[in-house]
Structure 1
Amino acid sequence: MRLIIAEKPSLARAIAAALPGQVRRDDGALVAGDTVVTWCLGHLLEQAPPDAYDPAFKTWRLDHLPILPERWKLTPRPKARDQLAVIRRLLKQADEVVHAGDPDREGQLLVQEVIEALGWKRPVARLLVSDLNRPAVQRALTRLEDNARYAPLYRAAASRARADWLYGINLTRAWTLIGRQAGHDGVLSVGRVQTPVLGLVVRRDAEIRDFTPYPFFVLWVDLAITRGTLRAWWVPDEGHPLDDQGRLLTRAPVDTLAERLPGAQGRVSALETRHNRQAAPLPYSLSALQVDAARRYGLSAKAVLDICQRLYERHRLITYPRSDCRYLPEEHWASARATLEGACRTDDTLGGWLDGADFSRRSKAWSDQKVGAHHALAPTGKPADLSRLEKAEADVFRLITRNVLAQFYPPLETRDVKAAFLIDGETFRAKGQEVLAPGWKPLFTTRDEAPPLPPLAEGEACRVEAAGVEDRETRPPEPFTDASLIKAMMNIARYVEDPAVRRTLRDSDGLGTEATRAGILETLIERGYLVRRGKALRATRLGSALIASLPEAVGRPERTALWEQRLTAIAEQDDEPGPFLNALVEDLHGLLAAADAGRLARSLQTARGEETAPSRRRTPWKTARGAKRGGRSGRAGKPRRSPS
């Protein structure tokens, strides 16, 4: 008997449906001929708690730390025992076992740890399914591999689980215990990913809270040229008081200049024209989709992940969603027309986009060299009746399908123009963009990024028709949202101060993974460290105090991002688990030594004071002086406060 162990019931059903013969249900399994398909329910096993290693560890004590298991133990998750019993029974009857976990690090771990824990010693085959539609699963069944090939992936996943346990158990116990000494009654959870994410928000909130605005001044002129009019902006030279971004800090020069400019003659002193061709955005990875869906529809990262799981498992409309890849296998290009026709035919919006697609085009999105265990999110081709989906499901499905459809549209072609004008000895600049060929752009937006400039020629005369001064004010950074925080986690090198580490992290996977980023945000909210205010994510008093009380490195992204690099190296056989875990243990000793109840008490008190302190008064924005049409205010609003 051949036994296939799937990661979850939906995958088991898809595999069974792709097998020849009738399928019948058995206790915790599906049977088709000589093949039995059973399933896990996500992780059936988890790292054992500390008291499984020593009953004394049931009591939390600082003198027990660090807790360092010599031989790692796993224990069944709650409600997993019945399904484990089913798999144990079937393994005893099996002649052949097939591992059918999801095609990622965690998928490799959660099935393989069950197979090993239940004592199977013979070879195991590996089935990789990223699309639940029957033809795709049937193809995958003809391409079974030796599971031994994925042993490095398993070692990396097991190392991640053990490292997370060591880091989280020891630091959470330490800070919870000193929290009690500091007067906080509750668990203070510390994790190798969640805490640096919290640190990003705490530091951003501090920048907003401590921001002191200052005024600056801009001068514009409306110019008459041979074939029209345009607006240009004064570029003050270094003889004026400027900030580090070249903004003018005193008003007197612009007032003086604005008074004498009307009617002044000048010329086009420099002209730069560039013809740009921009290919369509690539198909989505999960994180890229979460960013766009948050911006366009206000959906949280967790909501997008849940929607994608339903589109994948329940509706079978999209391929495997927890992907970090934005490329598609080359073999998908040949069937793309049929796939997209199936996905688009019942929806007016998608149908209209389909009509404009040229399926003879082949973009760089199809690349076997850039596809690993996963490929980008894409429609499966199953006919989609979007009227039967929830609105958010239909919105997300359209985004996924649109980005694949866009690969069959021509590039966006623009002419970008930058012009400089010399008037009364002063330099003014203007820029504009002319769309030569819209290409894929109408699928994404009908808004022009910058209006075109009238035709210009270098040396051409111009005359000032009007001039105006705008009083502006510097603004603090925006608070994080789901979209911007997911993007920050994807591009974590931008938030790293050490130049050498930043260079190292530019090519890494960032903070967290496609499968975990949404859950991290929700965990921080559930634990009272973050709160949502509209679209904004703000740190609570408790979250701010926790970061302030921890060693700085614990709340910064460098360590965990470098961890991901080490885990990737283990998965690619360029590193071993032993040195990685040994380095972590050494690090833990230093971190635990820094646990200080007094520092935590002061942090809690400081955070409480900052939360109740009045915000700085903002200078009101003044209307543009002498302006034909006013500029927009640069004034920052009062930051919202976040209760703990």
Structure 2
Amino acid sequence: MRLIIAEKPSLARAIADALPGKRRSVEGSIEVGDTTVTWCFGHLLEQAPPDAYDPRYKQWRLDHLPIVPSPWQLMPRPKARGQLAVIRRLLKASSEVVHAGDPDREGQLLVQEVIEHLRWRGPVKRLLISDLNRPAVAKALGRLEDNARYQPLYRAAETRARADWLYGINLTRAWTLTGRQAGHDGVLSVGRVQTPVLGLVVRRDREIADFTPRPFHVLWADFAVAHGQVRAWWQPGEQHPLDDQGRLLARAPAAALAVRLPGAEGRLSELDSRDKRQAPPLPYSLSALQVDAARRYKYSAKQVLDTCQALYERHTLITYPRSDCRYLPRGHHASLASALPTLGQVDATLAEWCRGADFTRRGRAFDDAKVGAHHALAPTGKIPDMARLSAPEANIYRLVVRNVLAQFHAHLETREVKACFEVLGERFAASGSEVLVAGWKPLFTTRDEPPPLPTLVRGEPARVTAAAVEDRETRPPEPFNDASLIKAMMNIGRYVDDPDVKRTLRESDGLGTEATRAGIIETLLERGYLVRVKSALRASRTGHALIASLPDPATRPERTALWEQRLSRIAEADDSEQAFLDALLGDLRSLLDAADAERMRQALGSAQGIEAPAPRRGGRKPAARRRGSNAAAGKTRRRRSSKASGGRQ
């Protein structure tokens, strides 16, 4: 018997549907001919808690740290024992096993750790599926690979899980116990990704709180030219008081010039006109979709992820959503060119976007060289019943289709004009843009474009018809929201000061992964470290105190982003997992030495921030309400062991 082990039930059903033969459902599996398909439902196994290695670790004590398991142990999750028993029984009757985890690092770990835990020693094939439509699944079934090829990917995922355990368990215990000495009664959770993300928000909140607005002044003038009128802005010279962005800090020079300008004769001294062509925005990765959906619809990152999962699993309308890629295989071009016009027949919005599309066009998104384990999100080609989709499902589906449809539209062509006027010995600048070919642009905006500049000729006379000074103030940075925080996690190099590290991180995948970024934000909200204020994400008082009490490197993104790079090298068989863990233990011991009750006391006493609301039903209790001994804290910690150590992150 051939046994296929899928990552989740929906994938197992899609595989069974694509197999030839009569289906028969048996407990925890589906039989089709001589093949049986069974499934996991997320991780069936989890890292064992500290007291599984030594009962004395039930009590949280600083002198136990660092806790370093040897050998490492996995244990069944409480609700997974029944399905593990099903898989164990099926393995005993199998001659061949097929690993059908999702095509990523965690998907490789999720199924393979079950196969190894149940001591299967026979051959294992690898089935990679990113599209649940029957033809795509059938095609994937015809090109199975040797799972040994993916062993480095598994080792990288296993190393990540162990490293997260070491980091989360040890630092959470250390800071919780130090917090208790300082008078904070509750768990203070520290993680290698969640804490730097919290650090981003805390530092942004501090910038906003410490911000002092400064007045600045701008002067505009309207110039009459042969073919119309142009508004231009004064460019004050260095003899005037300017800030580092060239803004005028004193009003008097602008006011004095404004009085002299009306009626003054000048000329158009400089004119630069350039035609530009802009390719369509690429299809979405998950994070890029989360950013756009948050901006357009105010959806949280988790809501977007959950909606994508429903469109992928329940409705089978889009391809695998947890992708970090924004390109499509060249082989998808023909099927999409055939399917997209049909999709336009069932939805007015899609129909409007299909107008003007040229389905023979092959946009830059179709590039095999830039597709890895995943490709960009795309419609599967299945005809949707829009009436059965919720409003968020319909909105997200349209966005996914739109960005793929854009690849079949012409480039946006514009004429960008920059003009400089000279009058009374001063320079005034104006700029404008004219759309020559709208191309893909109407798919992305319904706003009217501002009128272009009138026809201009270099050297032509220009007379000032009006002028005025506008008084403005510098503004603090905006607080983070779901869109900007996800974008910050994607482009984490922007928040790094060290130029060498910044250069290293420029091409990295950022902080967290496509699959985990939404969960990281939700975890920080559930633990009371972040608070949602309308659409903004602000740090709570506890969040501020935790960041202030930790060594600065533990709150910044450099370490975790470099972790991801090194894990990627392990996945490519270019680095050693043991060397990585040894280096981590050295860092961990230094961080543990920095745990200090006095620093914690000061941090708690001076913390600013927003009071976290009561937890949602079924959520974590506020730290102030949790009472008990070290042993009780240990029980609480064990119940959350996978979350504090990063879970699938």
Instruction: Classify the TM-score, shorter chain.
Output: over 0.9
> 1:102 aligned to 2:102?
yes
The residue aligned with 1:410 is 410
Are the counterparts in 2 of residues 216 and 248 from structure 1 also a CA contact under 8 Å? yes
Are the counterparts in 1 of residues 222 and 232 from structure 2 also a CA contact under 8 Å? yes
Per-residue CA deviations over 1:450-476 (Å, capped at 9, x if unaligned) read: 541111111011000000000000000
Q: CA deviation at 1:197?
A: 0.2
Q: Against the structure 1 CA distance between its residues 182 and 451, is the aligned structure 2 distance closer, same or farther, given a 3 Å change threshold?
A: farther
> 1:534 aligned to 2:538?
no
Per-residue CA deviations over 1:536-558 (Å, capped at 9, x if unaligned) read: 00000000000000000010000
Are the counterparts in 2 of residues 48 and 74 from structure 1 also a CA contact under 8 Å? yes
The residue aligned with 1:432 is 432
> 1:317 aligned to 2:317?
yes
Are the counterparts in 2 of residues 344 and 383 from structure 1 also a CA contact under 8 Å? no
> 1:292 aligned to 2:258?
no
Q: CA deviation at 1:344?
A: 3.0
Structure-1 separation of matches of 2:465 and 2:23: 81
> 1:133 aligned to 2:120?
no
Structure-2 separation of matches of 1:343 and 1:125: 36
Are the counterparts in 1 of residues 195 and 555 from structure 2 also a CA contact under 8 Å? yes
SS of the equivalent of 2:434 reads strand
The residue aligned with 2:303 is 303
Question: Aligned partner of 1:194: which letter?
Answer: Q
SS of the equivalent of 1:458 reads coil
Which aligned pairs between 1:203-602 and structure 2 lie closer than 5 A?
203-447=203-447, 450-602=450-602
The residue aligned with 2:644 is none
Are the counterparts in 1 of residues 270 and 420 from structure 2 also a CA contact under 8 Å? yes
Moved more, 231-240 or 338-347: 338-347
SS of the equivalent of 1:79 reads helix
Per-residue CA deviations over 1:103-124 (Å, capped at 9, x if unaligned) read: 0000000000000000001120
Q: CA deviation at 1:352?
A: 2.0
Are the counterparts in 1 of residues 539 and 610 from structure 2 also a CA contact under 8 Å? no
Alpha carbon RMSD of aligned pairs, Å? 1.2
Structure-1 separation of matches of 2:164 and 2:67: 13
Are the counterparts in 1 of residues 337 and 360 from structure 2 also a CA contact under 8 Å? no
Q: CA deviation at 1:222?
A: 0.8
Structure-2 separation of matches of 1:348 and 1:251: 53
Per-residue CA deviations over 1:394-453 (Å, capped at 9, x if unaligned) read: 000000000000000000000000001100000000000000000000000033565411
The residue aligned with 1:56 is 56
SS of the equivalent of 1:417 reads strand
The residue aligned with 1:617 is none
Are the counterparts in 2 of residues 345 and 383 from structure 1 also a CA contact under 8 Å? no
The residue aligned with 1:635 is none
SS of the equivalent of 1:433 reads strand
Structure-2 separation of matches of 1:201 and 1:482: 11
Structure-2 separation of matches of 1:145 and 1:457: 66
Moved more, 572-581 or 3-12: 572-581
Q: Against the structure 1 CA distance between its residues 528 and 390, is the aligned structure 2 distance closer, same or farther, given a 3 Å change threshold?
A: same
Structure-2 separation of matches of 1:475 and 1:166: 42
Q: CA deviation at 1:353?
A: 1.5
Structure-1 separation of matches of 2:143 and 2:293: 35
Q: Against the structure 1 CA distance between its residues 342 and 108, is the aligned structure 2 distance closer, same or farther, given a 3 Å change threshold?
A: farther
Structure-2 separation of matches of 1:452 and 1:594: 60
SS of the equivalent of 1:538 reads strand
> 1:111 aligned to 2:111?
yes
Are the counterparts in 2 of residues 546 and 603 from structure 1 also a CA contact under 8 Å? yes
The residue aligned with 1:88 is 88
Are the counterparts in 1 of residues 538 and 610 from structure 2 also a CA contact under 8 Å? no
TM-score (norm 2): 0.93
SS of the equivalent of 1:80 reads helix
The residue aligned with 1:633 is none
Question: Aligned partner of 1:489: which letter?
Answer: M
Q: Percent identity?
A: 72
Q: CA deviation at 1:342?
A: 4.0
Are the counterparts in 2 of residues 102 and 108 from structure 1 also a CA contact under 8 Å? yes
Structure-2 separation of matches of 1:467 and 1:334: 57
SS of the equivalent of 2:315 reads coil
Per-residue CA deviations over 1:85-144 (Å, capped at 9, x if unaligned) read: 000000000000000000000000000000000000112000001011111100000010
Structure-2 separation of matches of 1:549 and 1:319: 43
Are the counterparts in 2 of residues 23 and 32 from structure 1 also a CA contact under 8 Å? yes
Are the counterparts in 1 of residues 346 and 386 from structure 2 also a CA contact under 8 Å? yes
Structure-1 separation of matches of 2:16 and 2:388: 26
Structure-2 separation of matches of 1:201 and 1:573: 35
Question: Aligned partner of 1:304: which letter?
Answer: V
Q: CA deviation at 1:329?
A: 0.7
The residue aligned with 2:634 is none
Q: Which runs of 4+ in 1 moved over 6 A?
A: none
Are the counterparts in 2 of residues 342 and 382 from structure 1 also a CA contact under 8 Å? no
Are the counterparts in 2 of residues 131 and 137 from structure 1 also a CA contact under 8 Å? yes
Are the counterparts in 1 of residues 531 and 610 from structure 2 also a CA contact under 8 Å? no
Question: Aligned partner of 1:466: which letter?
Answer: A
The residue aligned with 1:187 is 187
SS of the equivalent of 1:605 reads helix
Per-residue CA deviations over 1:258-317 (Å, capped at 9, x if unaligned) read: 001100000011111111000000000000000000000000000000000000000000
Per-residue CA deviations over 1:313-347 (Å, capped at 9, x if unaligned) read: 00000000000000001100111122223433210
Unaligned runs of 5+ in 1: 613-642
Question: Aligned partner of 1:141: which letter?
Answer: L
Structure-1 separation of matches of 2:339 and 2:66: 54
Q: CA deviation at 1:573?
A: 1.4
Structure-1 separation of matches of 2:449 and 2:588: 50
Q: CA deviation at 1:611?
A: 6.2
Structure-2 separation of matches of 1:268 and 1:221: 13
Q: CA deviation at 1:356?
A: 2.1
Question: Aligned partner of 1:436: which letter?
Answer: L
Structure-2 separation of matches of 1:139 and 1:183: 61
Question: Aligned partner of 1:135: which letter?
Answer: P
The residue aligned with 2:167 is 167
The residue aligned with 1:618 is none
Moved more, 341-350 or 108-117: 341-350
Question: Aligned partner of 2:130: which letter?
Answer: S
- Higher-RCO chain (CA-CA 8 Å, sequence separation at least 6): 2
> 1:40 aligned to 2:32?
no
Question: Aligned partner of 1:59: which letter?
Answer: Q
SS of the equivalent of 1:603 reads helix
The residue aligned with 1:18 is 18
Q: Against the structure 1 CA distance between its residues 611 and 368, is the aligned structure 2 distance closer, same or farther, given a 3 Å change threshold?
A: closer
SS of the equivalent of 1:459 reads coil
Are the counterparts in 1 of residues 214 and 474 from structure 2 also a CA contact under 8 Å? yes
Moved more, 389-398 or 341-350: 341-350
